[in-house]
Amino acid sequence: MLSTSDIIRNAQRAGMALPAFNIPYLPMMQPVVRAVADQDSFALIAVARLEWMKFEAKSPAAVLEEFMRWNQPNHVRIHLDHVPVIDEDKQQVDYLGIIQEALELGYQSVMVDGSRLGLAENIAATRQAVELAHRASRPCEAELGAVLGHEAGPLPPYEELFASGRGFTDVQEAARFVRETGCDWLSVAIGNIHGAISGALKDQKKVEARLNLDHLERLRQATGVPLVLHGGSGVKRESVLAAVKQGIVKINIGTEIRQAYEAALRETKSVAAAQDAVYDRTGWLIRDYFGISGNRKQLTD
Ligand SMILES: [Zn+2]
């Protein structure tokens, strides 16, 4: 069985996106895995700490158990998304404990998020997480720059954010960060934003984000590792496809399938109908948005 690192490398070589679908509600697992397999594609299945703290994913163990129920090893791998060092509510997190637990459970890749720290502290925290993951022969993703959106309250106007480049991953810092932490994949901020997760904002349609491709090119050259785009929901399609040609490999999709699930559940009160909505949206993303139906063989051979 190919490792997640190998598959990411194959996707990078082929210039193809590797989506990572987040599972904030356990019943989303089955339709997401089924859609990926039915499209004969390949994807990561992911859960972030805030999805078991603030949504209904329950725990890393519960998500892994659900994953093993529906797992199709030719089509999916399980990834631990955002384990923040400082969380969206400014609380300290036992991030190494959570990452260690996930590695022991069998998560095939992990992420540490020290992006709320200063550079030196982010490097120190990330390096420890990378060491844990590498000791278990698993890749570790890290984040540098501010992919905003998880914090409570409204964002500043998007066009203002984009034009100012505020929070974008700094190119020199990124080179140093990758060198000193040994992280395998780097999540970058180039105009992408997370979907809101709190209050009424979490049901709102996301703004259509754009990506600064020149900045991405500089980051690609400076880091030399596969880059990750968080907040993949609602980015202009042509921006995403161009970014994939320029170093982005893994693309996180959370808000789009979560809102499909929640809206259908609200309307029909039926989990089965909500699962159908997730199946349809996931299939649409793979086939019509990323255009990667049928790519499984290319990534796993
Ligand atoms: Zn993220």
If pLDDT is split at 50, 70 and 90, which confidence band does 25 have?
Answer: very high
* Higher pLDDT, residue 254 or 208: 254
194 alpha carbon – ligand 1 mean position (Å): 6
The pLDDT mean for the chain works out to: 94
How confident is the model over 142-151, as pLDDT tens digits?
A: 999 988 778 7
- Is a pLDDT exceeding 80 seen at residue 277? yes
124 alpha carbon – ligand 1 mean position (Å): 20
Which has the closest alpha carbon to 194: 290, 280, 281, 82? Answer: 82
24 alpha carbon – ligand 1 mean position (Å): 13
- Euclidean distance between CA atoms 174 and 50, whole angstroms: 25
- Is a pLDDT exceeding 90 seen at residue 283? yes
- Euclidean distance between CA atoms 83 and 81, whole angstroms: 6
- Is a pLDDT exceeding 90 seen at residue 228? yes
Report the pLDDT value the prediction gives residue 98, as an integer from 0 to 100. Answer: 98
49 alpha carbon – ligand 1 mean position (Å): 11
Look at 29-33, 51-55, 152-156 and tell me which has the smallest mean pLDDT.
152-156
115 alpha carbon – ligand 1 mean position (Å): 11
| Signed CA dihedral, 75, 296, 20, 290: sign only | negative
232 alpha carbon – ligand 1 mean position (Å): 9
252 alpha carbon – ligand 1 mean position (Å): 7
Interval 84-106 mean pLDDT = 97
If pLDDT is split at 50, 70 and 90, which confidence band does 208 have?
Answer: confident
41 alpha carbon – ligand 1 mean position (Å): 22
231 alpha carbon – ligand 1 mean position (Å): 6
> Hey, which bits of 26-165 come out as E strands?
43-47, 76-84, 109-113, 140-144
If pLDDT is split at 50, 70 and 90, which confidence band does 153 have?
Answer: confident
- Euclidean distance between CA atoms 112 and 52, whole angstroms: 16
Which has the closest alpha carbon to 52: 108, 109, 101, 5? Answer: 101
Q: Tokens representing 264?
A: 């259908």
How confident is the model over 40-77, as pLDDT tens digits?
A: 999 999 999 999 999 999 999 999 999 999 999 999 99
Report the pLDDT value the prediction gives residue 175, as an integer from 0 to 100. Answer: 98
171 alpha carbon – ligand 1 mean position (Å): 20
- Euclidean distance between CA atoms 17 and 187, whole angstroms: 14
- Euclidean distance between CA atoms 67 and 77, whole angstroms: 9
| Signed CA dihedral, 95, 220, 148, 41: sign only | negative
Protein residues near ligand 1, an ion, with CB under 5 A = 230
Which has the closest alpha carbon to 219: 191, 194, 253? Answer: 191
82 alpha carbon – ligand 1 mean position (Å): 6
Report the pLDDT value the prediction gives residue 1, as an integer from 0 to 100. Answer: 81
